[in-house]
Chains A and B, each alone.
Chain A
Amino acid sequence: MVPLENYLALSAIVFALGVYGVLARRNAVMILMSVELMLNAVNINFVAFAAYLDPDRIVGAIFAVFIITVAAAEVGLALAIVIRLFRNRATANVDEAATMKW
């Protein structure tokens, strides 16, 4: 059986990729995709821990399902915002949308 540490390492790598994407990308859609990576890294953790530590109960798996649901809703909302942004500014570059400040 694959040891738990491998799952955790995979999760950490995916999460770091996601963070890098959020910080480095300038396109709003790409940032959203990176956020999805981070969420899925968390899902991996949940499922791995659920399988290894408490296999009789599926609490961790249920949490993963919830996160997928919430992430879907979040993406739906966020994409709507991005579309509004694109309609107004003709760009999805987040650096250009910098009017909400002092």
Chain B
Amino acid sequence: MGAEQAWVLAAIPAGVFLVLALFGRALPRGGDYLGVAAIASSFALFFVVLADFLDTPGKLGPVVNDIEWSSIGDTFDLRMGIFIDPITIVMFAVVVTVALMVNIFSIGYMKGEPRYHWFFAVLQLFAASMLMLVMADNLLLLYISWELVGVCSFLLIGFYWEKRSATEAAKKAFVTTRIGDVGLLIGIILLWKEGGTFNIQELIHLAEEGHFSQPYLFTALAFIFLGCMGKSAQVPFHVWLPDAMEGPTPVSALIHAATMVVAGVYLTARLLPMFEVADGMLLTVTIVGLITALLTGFMALAQTDIKKVLAYSTVGQLGFMFIALGAGEPAVAMFHLMTHAFFKALLFLGAGSVIIGTHHNQEMDRLGGLWRKMPITGTTFLIGSLALAGLPPLAGFWSKDEIFVVLEHRWGAWAVILLGISAVTTAFYTTRLFIRTFMGRPADPHVYEHARETPPVMTGPLVFLALLALTSGFVVFHDVGKALGFPGGITEFIFLPHHGPHEYELKWGFAAASLAMAVVGIFSAAWMYWGNDLRRSTALANWQPGIYDMLRRKFYFDELYQGMIDRGVLGFSYLVSWFDRYVVNDTGVDGSAQITGFTGGVLKYLQTGRVPNYAMAVALGVIGLAIAGLVVRG
């Protein structure tokens, strides 16, 4: 099997999905071993594909394999296929690794839950759709996969549909991303209308040749970017992701941290050559990323739910990736995407381990001191936290540092300063999260007493991901990359052809600044919360209650949207319902009935019941017709 057959990676989980969805209930243990086996075989086959890809004679050229899907006459020919280049390879690596870890972890996490087999079935469907998404060579296939992963996300957020909050969250996620998805569809149609093809590479080629006019290209790409923003939860579409934490925690790790939410980043990276052709598009991407990174950094400060903190952190880190794309550097964005996927999946699975270990507690106000009770979870969580905070030599440091470098190179110092604030808040809330969960005085002795470490099926994936969080940053170095078979680290592996490879070099000034930001954030949080002592933070909150309230309620975005829905949507609905009631119903429907009734009321007197009257009418009618006939014929 070679890279041309990479579709098998997606076909295996898709087949297992069908088996689990149809027969899972009857299988022993809900068929979870089938799910794990499917992902494990995709994981193994990934390395086959990777080896074949690295051996391709064209030396890292894209691998294309497409078939005719449907054609209408000679004019319309729809081809579908797979396209594999380094960006796809990185996405493959992320998806199969995290999916495998999450599947194994779920065996422990979902034990004894209702609809156990269904959970594993949807995980397989998700893995299949996500793998299809990243290897689609045309926008139509990509859009289909895009919607499929959205459906999986909806199904899994609402997995506990007995809970009202879960169904509400699922609905919110679906509707919010839908708004973006409509934009994506419009964008795809616009590109197809002018370019005549769905094939991504052909479209990029057309754009670079100047086939599209500037405003047209900008409009189409802006619509596509709207879809990316919705999927990747960028401001102002970020509101669905924190609520999505209603789903089971492994789902949060897989879908809402590592893979599905980065689909927007992936699509933007894939279309980046077009974004560069359209004036102003990259600046738009940068600004959206900056605003998101800044705002969510502050929103996470006052959250008390472990998973919510991680959710806001995810949104912020996605903002970091968009910033790298806005600087025109897909390699850096994909690098951060990869490291973030590993350490954020680790953090989410760690949070899941805490939830199981403390019998379903995820409020920091009731946790604390858990490191002593859950040493493996605590240690791996610490590694993930430090990676997120950006402390060297953990993975997050290298990728975040690269983002600062390319951002300064492209847009100058102002952007770096804004992003620096976000980096400080990231380090701050991460440290706060760790201290209040794992260190110091237990906030609730009862919870602490009954806490216990989780079984190996859950700690195993944690340890594996912790190792990746420790080491995956090193692939950026030339020598490490060479040793692994990539010619020259990740930044040379992934590059746009016309950019040419650029060799990674550590810029000491940026590294020092980046380290300083992480240290400032970590130490100020440690000073504030050390020993899980809330006196200082409470004093701070009481000193400026307005600001605290604003942070706790996430800059009032939810209230704003609720108000918009209440006033705008419901106001308009009121108008429509008035029109329906008084114009359509009372005038249109009732009115015609009344006219008929009135006419009938008058005409009924013609029916006398006397046969001679009718006979007279017939006779007069015939005479009348005869006269009329004579008159007409002259």
Interface locus among B94-102, B254-262, B398-406, B604-612:
B604-612
Q: In terms of DSSP, what is the predominant structure of the interface of chain A?
A: loop
Among A22, A23, A31, A99, the residue within 8 A (CB) of B609 is A99
Within 8 A of A (CB), among B598-622: 604-605, 607-612, 615-616, 619
Within 8 A of B (CB), among A1-59: 19, 22-23, 26, 31
Chain A residue at smallest Cβ distance from B623? A19
**A31 to B607 alpha-carbon distance, docked (Å):** 20
Instruction: Confirm or deny: A72 has a beta carbon within 8 angstroms of a beta carbon on chain B.
Output: no
Across the interface, do A102 and B605 meet the contact criterion of CB distance under 8 Å? yes
Within 8 A of A (CB), among B452-511: none
Asked whether A102 and B604 contact (CB < 8 A) given A19-B619, A23-B619, the answer is: yes
Chain B residue at smallest Cβ distance from A28? B611
Among A19, A26, A31, A101, the residue within 8 A (CB) of B608 is A101
Across the interface, do B612 and A102 meet the contact criterion of CB distance under 8 Å? no
Residues from chain B with a CB closer than 8 A to the CB of A22 are 612, 615, 619
Chain A residue at smallest Cβ distance from B610? A98
Residues from chain A with a CB closer than 8 A to the CB of B605 are 102
CB distance from B362 to the nearest CB of A (A): 76
Instruction: Confirm or deny: A97 has a beta carbon within 8 angstroms of a beta carbon on chain B.
Output: yes
Chain B residue at smallest Cβ distance from A95? B610
Across the interface, do A23 and B607 meet the contact criterion of CB distance under 8 Å? no
CB distance from A78 to the nearest CB of B (A): 11
Chain A residue at smallest Cβ distance from B609? A101
**A23 to B622 alpha-carbon distance, docked (Å):** 14
Residues from chain B with a CB closer than 8 A to the CB of A101 are 607-609
> How many interface residues does chain B have, given as a range?
10 to 19
Instruction: Confirm or deny: A90 has a beta carbon within 8 angstroms of a beta carbon on chain B.
Output: no
**A100 to B614 alpha-carbon distance, docked (Å):** 12
**A101 to B604 alpha-carbon distance, docked (Å):** 8
Instruction: Confirm or deny: A80 has a beta carbon within 8 angstroms of a beta carbon on chain B.
Output: no
Across the interface, do A94 and B616 meet the contact criterion of CB distance under 8 Å? no
Among A19, A26, A99, A100, the residue within 8 A (CB) of B612 is A26
Across the interface, do A23 and B611 meet the contact criterion of CB distance under 8 Å? no
Among A23, A31, A100, A102, the residue within 8 A (CB) of B616 is A23
**A94 to B616 alpha-carbon distance, docked (Å):** 13
Residues from chain A with a CB closer than 8 A to the CB of B604 are 102
CB distance from B622 to the nearest CB of A (A): 9
Chain B residue at smallest Cβ distance from A98? B609
Across the interface, do B609 and A94 meet the contact criterion of CB distance under 8 Å? no
**A98 to B608 alpha-carbon distance, docked (Å):** 7
Residues from chain B with a CB closer than 8 A to the CB of A31 are 611
Within 8 A of B (CB), among A65-102: 94-95, 97-102
Chain A residue at smallest Cβ distance from B611? A94
Across the interface, do A94 and B619 meet the contact criterion of CB distance under 8 Å? no
Most buried by B among A22, A98, A100, A102: A102
Across the interface, do A102 and B610 meet the contact criterion of CB distance under 8 Å? no
**A100 to B608 alpha-carbon distance, docked (Å):** 8
CB distance from B167 to the nearest CB of A (A): 57
Residues from chain B with a CB closer than 8 A to the CB of A102 are 604-605, 607
Across the interface, do A94 and B612 meet the contact criterion of CB distance under 8 Å? yes
Residues from chain A with a CB closer than 8 A to the CB of B611 are 31, 94, 97
Residues from chain A with a CB closer than 8 A to the CB of B608 are 98, 101
CB distance from B244 to the nearest CB of A (A): 67
Chain B residue at smallest Cβ distance from A96? B610
**A23 to B607 alpha-carbon distance, docked (Å):** 17
Chain B residue at smallest Cβ distance from A35? B615
Chain B residue at smallest Cβ distance from A24? B612
Chain B residue at smallest Cβ distance from A94? B611
**A94 to B609 alpha-carbon distance, docked (Å):** 10
Residues from chain A with a CB closer than 8 A to the CB of B616 are 23
Chain B residue at smallest Cβ distance from A100? B609
Binary flags per residue of B577-606, CB closer than 8 Å to A gives 1, else 0: 000000000000000000000000000110
**A26 to B605 alpha-carbon distance, docked (Å):** 22
Chain A residue at smallest Cβ distance from B603? A102
Residues from chain A with a CB closer than 8 A to the CB of B607 are 101-102
Residues from chain B with a CB closer than 8 A to the CB of A26 are 612
Residues from chain A with a CB closer than 8 A to the CB of B609 are 97-101
Binary flags per residue of B141-159, CB closer than 8 Å to A gives 1, else 0: 0000000000000000000
**A22 to B618 alpha-carbon distance, docked (Å):** 11
Across the interface, do B615 and A23 meet the contact criterion of CB distance under 8 Å? yes
**A87 to B52 alpha-carbon distance, docked (Å):** 105
**A99 to B610 alpha-carbon distance, docked (Å):** 8
CB distance from A26 to the nearest CB of B (A): 7
CB distance from B412 to the nearest CB of A (A): 90
CB distance from A44 to the nearest CB of B (A): 19
**A19 to B617 alpha-carbon distance, docked (Å):** 12
Most buried by A among B607, B612, B616: B612
CB distance from A42 to the nearest CB of B (A): 13
CB distance from B614 to the nearest CB of A (A): 10
CB distance from B604 to the nearest CB of A (A): 4
Across the interface, do B612 and A95 meet the contact criterion of CB distance under 8 Å? yes
**A98 to B615 alpha-carbon distance, docked (Å):** 14
**A23 to B621 alpha-carbon distance, docked (Å):** 13
CB distance from A8 to the nearest CB of B (A): 15
**A100 to B604 alpha-carbon distance, docked (Å):** 12
**A101 to B611 alpha-carbon distance, docked (Å):** 11
**A39 to B468 alpha-carbon distance, docked (Å):** 107
CB distance from A57 to the nearest CB of B (A): 29
**A91 to B370 alpha-carbon distance, docked (Å):** 108
**A98 to B607 alpha-carbon distance, docked (Å):** 10
Chain A residue at smallest Cβ distance from B605? A102
Chain A residue at smallest Cβ distance from B615? A22
CB distance from B620 to the nearest CB of A (A): 10
Within 8 A of A (CB), among B228-278: none
Residues from chain A with a CB closer than 8 A to the CB of B615 are 22-23
Ordered by A's residue number, 9 sampled pairs between the chains whose C-beta atoms are within 8 Å are: A19-B619, A22-B612, A26-B612, A31-B611, A98-B609, A99-B609, A101-B609, A102-B605, A102-B607
Please name 15 further chain A to chain B contacts, defined as beta carbons within 8 Å, in addition to the given A23-B612, A99-B609, sorted by A numbering.
A19-B619, A22-B612, A22-B615, A22-B619, A23-B616, A26-B612, A31-B611, A94-B612, A95-B610, A95-B612, A97-B609, A98-B609, A98-B610, A101-B607, A102-B605
Name B residues whose Cβ lies closer than 8 Å to a Cβ of A: 604-605, 607-612, 615-616, 619
State the 10 A-B residue pairs at the shortest beta-carbon distance, nearest first: A101-B609, A98-B609, A102-B604, A100-B609, A98-B610, A94-B611, A101-B607, A22-B615, A102-B607, A23-B616
